[in-house]
């Protein structure tokens, strides 16, 4: 079996399993899944900088308030995530839109609907189109992506699906990225993949907009 066929078969298998065992619809009837970890409420967050960071998450589109309101129960976890997200994903040395596409490739692969439906407002403002999100799992054959984006998505694919690589794979990466940029992409993909797998387990998607942070206004320092 060739590599692409094996990957496709695995994806189909994962999709079929999720529909049978964890789907939210039975015979057309919506069933709300239980939230496995509870949100911290706005009135419980005394740290203004933390409350503002969660508020800004609502404005920026990703990460959403729901996952932030779970991490906020442990300040050291919250700030570890927040600082990494800001310095590596929002900022960093690699183009933000490229990392946004890598993020959603992971979402579609691990079937985190909650994460995959999020859109970075920074990428939206820069002109990243919805069509580019929709073609991610078929990126190699798509005409929507340039060579650098395809190389970054190939790295994302290899990390997500634990694929073996060869010299051709790495030559392709080095054609477009420095070693430092490859480190940033690889680190970010591993970082977001772990969070997305965790978020999917928590059934957050069935509880959107229920944290209380969505209607907050930014607090003055």
Alpha carbons 133 and 22: distance in angstroms, whole number: 24
pLDDT confidence of residue 213: 87
Phi, psi (degrees; rounded to nearest 5) at 189: -60, -45
Q: Quick one: pLDDT at residue 14?
A: 37
Per-domain residue ranges of the chain: 1-31, 35-207
Q: Are 85 and 53 in contact (CB under 8 A)?
A: no
Write down the pLDDT at residue 32: 79
Q: What is the model's pLDDT at position 30?
A: 55
pLDDT value at position 58? 87
Beta bridge partners of 26: 29
**pLDDT in the model for residue 123:** 97
Cα 111 to Cα 23, 37, 76, 123, 215, distances in angstroms: 11, 19, 28, 22, 28
Residue 215's pLDDT is: 78
Low-confidence ranges of the chain (pLDDT < 50): 1-27
Angle at which helix 147-160 crosses helix 179-201, to 10 degrees, equals 50
Q: What is the pLDDT of residues 116-161, one digit of tens each?
A: 999 999 999 999 999 999 999 999 999 999 999 999 999 999 999 9
Q: What is the overall mean pLDDT for the chain?
A: 87
Q: Does domain 35-207 have CATH number 1.10.760.10?
A: no
For residue 151, the model assigns a pLDDT of 98
Nearest-CA neighbor of 117 among 7, 199, 42? 199
């Amino acid at each position: 079996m060739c590599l692409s066929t094996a990957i496709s078969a695995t994806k189909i298998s994962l999709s079929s399993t999720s529909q049978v065992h964890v789907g939210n619809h039975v015979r057309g009837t919506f069933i709300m899944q239980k939230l496995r970890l509870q949100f911290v409420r706005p009135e419980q967050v005394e740290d203004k900088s933390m409350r503002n960071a969660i508020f800004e998450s609502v404005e920026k589109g990703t990460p959403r308030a729901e996952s932030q309101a779970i991490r906020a129960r442990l300040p050291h976890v919250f700030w570890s995530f927040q600082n990494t997200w800001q310095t590596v994903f929002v900022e960093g040395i690699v183009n933000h839109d490229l990392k946004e596409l890598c993020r959603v490739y992971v979402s579609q692969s691990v079937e985190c609907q909650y994460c995959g439906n999020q859109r970075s407002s920074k990428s939206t403002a820069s002109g990243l189109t919805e069509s580019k999100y929709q073609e991610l799992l078929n990126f190699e054959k798509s005409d929507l992506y340039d060579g650098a984006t395809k190389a970054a998505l190939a790295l994302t694919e290899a990390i997500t699906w634990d694929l073996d690589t060869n010299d051709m794979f790495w030559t392709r990466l080095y054609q477009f990225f420095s070693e430092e940029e490859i480190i940033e992409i690889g680190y970010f993909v591993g970082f977001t993949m772990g969070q997305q797998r965790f978020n999917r387990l928590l059934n957050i998607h069935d509880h959107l907009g229920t944290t209380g942070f969505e209607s907050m206004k930014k607090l003055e320092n």
